[in-house]
């Protein structure tokens, strides 16, 4: 991933490889082309065509992650316009969306809770008003043949891209299983090279996310997932963060949009309509619906009721606050930034709780 002023290259995020979810549509190691269905798109991003962007009251950056691509359902079904909203969803490479938000070109951006803290540490404050999902299996620690549990990793070598989200996953897995971090040796390696690293025989396990995780499992016979984000639900939240000024000026519109999101989640989760949702979402990233279903299954979408549950201020990963406190400490401990960020000031549950 290119180093950005708002996102250090070792930020704890899926930033570099979100675009790799769709390997069939991968155009470079860490980026996706900015395709457009609208003549109003710029060179930095292209409009999805959800509304007339020239008059859009809200401009939102989204990118290639199931919980973000899910908005495509609302766009193509016309639900945003039906809600009386004029919203321009702009398709980006994930990293570029954060830069555009920091530059004031967007009202909102779809971002991990950890990356939102990184942005804030650099002066780009985004107020989280909605959690789209949390990772529930798409991130994993994979052991080679003969490594059957996390306990088997004691005295072994694990490859991880240090400072990124699956470094956080590894630390969490070790702590939950009472395994000292210094009992294993870490090898720093690029996430997209993990299949080759595991196949080399130089390491005993890798920490990696989809689709690279699936590639690693296929590349190394007998390898298996030892621990996944499904074992730590809420460790990694994906969210909609908006600028303080836009939230102040357009709060009523953000409330309406949150209700559209609720409709999206129900449509995707309903067995009767999920095939249509998968068709829409997979087309956005150039995959077949069946292939995309695998990634959707590793993503726990949160409707408004689910949001009300996770936006209760408390410790623990079942709270967006608690999860963010956790990643805030991880960021400081690993030198992502030097001082803790004020987490509470970056989460506003009033939007999803509005009547």
Q: Are strands 157-160 and 185-188 parallel, antiparallel or unpaired?
A: parallel
The answer to whether 191 touches 164, Cβ cutoff 8 Å, is yes
Architecture of the domain delimited by 18-136+234-353: 3-Layer(aba) Sandwich (3.40)
Question: Which one, of 232, 267, 272, 240, lies nearest residue 351 by Cα?
Answer: 240
d(CA 105, CA 118): 18
pLDDT in tens, 195-244: 999 999 999 999 998 878 888 999 999 999 999 999 999 999 999 999 99
Mean pLDDT of the chain: 86
The pLDDT of residue 3 is above 80: no
pLDDT band at 23 (very low <50, low <70, confident <90, very high): very low
Question: Which one, of 234, 193, 246, 261, lies nearest residue 316 by Cα?
Answer: 234
Token pair for 71:
């908005």
Angle, helices 165-176 vs 320-333, to 10°: value is: 100
At residue 154, φ and ψ (nearest 5 deg) are: -60, 130
Q: Is 228 helix (H, G, I), strand (E, B) or coil?
A: strand
Residue with tokens 């990643």: 327
pLDDT in tens, 131-171: 999 999 999 999 999 999 999 999 999 999 887 888 999 99
pLDDT band at 342 (very low <50, low <70, confident <90, very high): very high
> Do 18-136+234-353 and 139-231 share a fold?
yes
Chain-centre distance for alpha carbon 227: 19
Instruction: Say how many C-beta atoms besides its own lie within 10 A of residue 84's C-beta.
Output: 9
Q: How far is CA 116 from CA 92, 181, 188, 327, in A?
A: 17, 26, 24, 11
pLDDT in tens, 231-266: 999 999 999 999 999 999 999 999 999 999 999 999
- Higher pLDDT: 80 or 25? It is 80
d(CA 112, CA 40): 27
d(CA 226, CA 222): 12
Q: What residues does each domain of the chain span?
A: 18-136+234-353, 139-231
d(CA 12, CA 121): 13
pTM: 0.81
In this predicted structure, what is the pLDDT of residue 278?
98
- Higher pLDDT: 31 or 65? It is 65
In this predicted structure, what is the pLDDT of residue 48?
58
In this predicted structure, what is the pLDDT of residue 124?
93
pLDDT band at 192 (very low <50, low <70, confident <90, very high): confident
The answer to whether 139 touches 170, Cβ cutoff 8 Å, is no
CATH number assigned to the domain covering 139-231: 3.40.190.10
């Amino acid at each position: 991933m290119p180093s950005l002023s708002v996102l250090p290259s070792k930020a704890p995020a899926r930033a570099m490889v979100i675009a790799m979810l769709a390997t069939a549509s991968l155009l470079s190691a860490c980026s996706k082309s900015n395709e457009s269905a609208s003549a109003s798109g710029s060179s930095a991003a292209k409009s999805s065509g959800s509304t007339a962007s020239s008059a859009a009251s809200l401009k939102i950056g989204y990118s290639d992650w199931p919980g973000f691509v899910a908005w495509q359902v609302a766009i193509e079904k016309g639900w945003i316009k039906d809600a009386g909203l004029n919203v321009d969803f702009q398709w980006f490479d994930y990293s570029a969306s954060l830069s555009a938000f920091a530059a004031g070109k967007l009202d909102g951006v779809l971002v991990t809770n950890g990356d939102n803290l990184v942005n804030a540490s650099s002066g780009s404050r985004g107020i989280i008003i909605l959690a789209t999902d949390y990772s529930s299996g798409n991130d994993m620690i994979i052991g080679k043949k003969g490594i059957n549990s996390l306990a088997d990793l004691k005295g072994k070598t694990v490859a991880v891209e240090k400072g990124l989200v699956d470094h956080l996953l590894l630390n969490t897995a070790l702590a939950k299983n009472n395994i000292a971090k210094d009992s294993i040796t870490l090898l720093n390696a690029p996430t997209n090279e993990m299949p080759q690293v595991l196949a080399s025989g130089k390491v005993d396990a890798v920490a990696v996310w989809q689709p690279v995780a699936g590639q690693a499992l296929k590349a190394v016979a007998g390898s298996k997932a030892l621990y996944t984000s499904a074992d730590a639900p809420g460790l990694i939240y994906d969210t909609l963060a908006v600028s303080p000024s836009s939230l102040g000026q357009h709060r009523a519109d953000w409330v309406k949009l949150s209700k559209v999101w609720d409709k999206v989640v129900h449509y995707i989760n309903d067995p009767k309509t999920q095939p249509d949702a998968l068709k829409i979402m997979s087309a956005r990233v150039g995959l077949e619906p069946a292939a995309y279903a695998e990634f959707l299954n590793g993503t726990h979408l949160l409707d408004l009721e689910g949001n009300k549950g996770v936006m209760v201020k408390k410790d623990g990963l079942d709270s967006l606050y608690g999860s963010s406190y956790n990643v805030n400490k991880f960021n400081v401990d690993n030198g992502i930034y030097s001082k803790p960020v004020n987490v509470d000031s970056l989460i506003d549950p009033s939007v999803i709780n509005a009547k």
